[in-house]
Structure 1
Amino acid sequence: MIVVAGQFRFPAENLELARAAMAAVIAGSRAEEGCLRYAFSQDVQDPCVFHVSEVWTDRPAFDAHMTQPHFADWRASAGSLGLHDRDATIYEAEAVQTL
């Protein structure tokens, strides 16, 4: 299982357009084979910060995701809208336990 966790930031003046771009990549990604979770959430204390949460069945599913047209569109849109301070980590989980 592949888990991606991280955060990024958008300029305040681009938040509405950024939300639309996020909605598009979320819809496309959730429809992909192997996607178990794909979400962005806005930080409660800093509305310009968004947290990333992705879970994929395996590395091939994640790698395929990175080649999808909706992901390329997201990267282009995010760049033009000023996404910055991106910090994301990929984890390979071998054991999963529900809390």
Structure 2
Amino acid sequence: MIVVVGQFRFPAERMDDARPVMRKVIEATRAEQGCVQYNYGEDVLDPGLIRVSELWQSRKQLDAHMQMPHMAQWQRDRTALGLSEREIMVYDADAGVPL
């Protein structure tokens, strides 16, 4: 399994514009082969901060995801919305166990 975690920021005043754009990329990504989970969550205490969590079956599928047309559009859209402070990390993991 491949785990992706991180965060990025939009200006708080752009969040109403950002939500539908994020929804579009989330829906398209969740339909991709190999995507187990793909989530963006707004930080309750820090307006404009978005937490990222993803789970992929393989690195090959994550790499294919990064080449998808909706990801190219997402890169353009997020730049236009003022994305900053992007810090995303990729980890190899086992299948995990319930906590």
Aligned residue in 2 for 1:87: 87
Q: Equivalent residue of 1:61, what SS? A: helix
- Partner of 1:37, secondary structure, is strand
Structure 2 partner of 1:66: 66
Q: TM-score, normalised by structure 1?
A: 0.96
Offset of residue 12 of structure 1 = 1.6
Match of 2:97 in 1: 97
Mapped to 1, the partners of 2:95 and 2:78 lie a distance apart of 33
Q: Which residue identity is paired with 2:84?
A: H
Distance 2:44 2:53 in 1: 16
Distance 1:98 1:65 in 2: 27
What does residue 48 of structure 1 align with? 48
**Counterpart Cα distance in 1 of 2:41 and 2:59:** 23
**Structure 1, gaps ≥5 residues long:** none
Provide the rounded CA distance (Å) in 2 between the counterparts of 1:64 and 1:16.
Answer: 30
Q: Identity over aligned residues, as a percent?
A: 48
Residue type of the partner of 1:15? M
Distance in 2 separating the partners of 1:27 and 1:47: 23
SS in 2 for 1:55: strand
Aligned CA-pair RMSD:
0.8
Look up the SS of the partner of 2:13 in the other structure: helix
- Whole-Å separation in 2 of the counterparts to 1:75 and 1:21: 11
Separation (CA, whole Å) in 1 of partners of 2:41 and 2:70 = 19
Distance 2:19 2:95 in 1: 33
1:36 is matched with which residue? 36
Rounded to whole Å, the distance in 2 between the matches of 1:41 and 1:13 is 17
Give unmatched runs, 5+ long, in structure 2. Answer: none
Alpha-carbon distance in 1 for matches of 2:76, 2:24: 13
